[in-house]
Structure 1
């Protein structure tokens, strides 16, 4: 990974180092389901290499890809907000290497160090807002055309 991901760049070096002390490296093979929509959200990842698709079950029960994430992207935010359940599903589009973080540990660190907590919350909220807009646009593209009578 050449440049630090935005969530890490947003943190002062000492805070970033504290957060990275909680990280461990993981890998997922291509086509692995990383998590399922509605499942318990206990951790999150920062993708180091590879690609992950986020999907959503539509009314006709087919899964629709709403976003593709790559190196440097944050995978998962539901660990931060009750009820701590995934809003989307995630699947490895290619082999993936990532830093994994335990959500309980990071939330505890954020409560202990409120300055860190504010930066993490603001950064995740910015990412969430961007993804929400992109997902909304993608879902509109996938929706059947509507006609007015």
Structure 2
């Protein structure tokens, strides 16, 4: 199950307002987009390519949580205090994306309650999906006999 895209989740008017803040960016394959535990000030919507989300596991290499692609949201921590990344992200392929300034979007959604509800509903759905994926992936990796397979 993929996470809800901004195109499906937000009404046209809200999506258009957000897109006015978008800036086109690109990341080369292998580029680290952000690290877990660092300040979260931006988010991205993938246009092309794939981004891998990972998490640190003490005493082990980072665990791959999920691979994101076209129209998917990269980054949620910009929306919720203390604005620190809970996962890390790397460009698995060359990536083109729309980048958004988290402070500007937070200001916009505070000024427009309807937009704020739509964005937080969308982000909440993505967050719930990512939490389920993280739990399942970590159980698959580290529990005996792939205990996380049955969700």
TM-score normalized by the length of structure 1: 0.91
Aligned to 2:117: 118
2:8 is the counterpart of 1:9: yes
Secondary structure of the residue aligned to 2:46 is strand
Partners in 1 of 2:41 and 2:7 — Cα distance?
A: 20
Query: What is the CA-CA distance between 1:17 and the residue it aligns to?
Result: 1.2
Aligned to 2:38: 39
**Aligned-pair RMSD on alpha carbons?**
1.3
Could you give the per-residue CA deviations for residues 70-102 of structure 1, whole angstroms, max 9, x where no partner exists?
A: 111100000000110000110000000000000
Could you give the per-residue CA deviations for residues 19-74 of structure 1, whole angstroms, max 9, x where no partner exists?
A: 10000000000000000000000000000010010111101141110111011110
Does the 8 A contact of 2:28 with 2:91 survive in 1? yes
How many residues were matched structurally? 142
Call closer, same or farther: CA 1:144–1:12 in 2, change over 3 Å.
closer
Give unmatched runs, 5+ long, in structure 1: none
Aligned to 2:148: none
TM-score normalized by the length of structure 2: 0.90
Secondary structure of the residue aligned to 1:79 is coil
Does the 8 A contact of 1:7 with 1:124 survive in 2? no
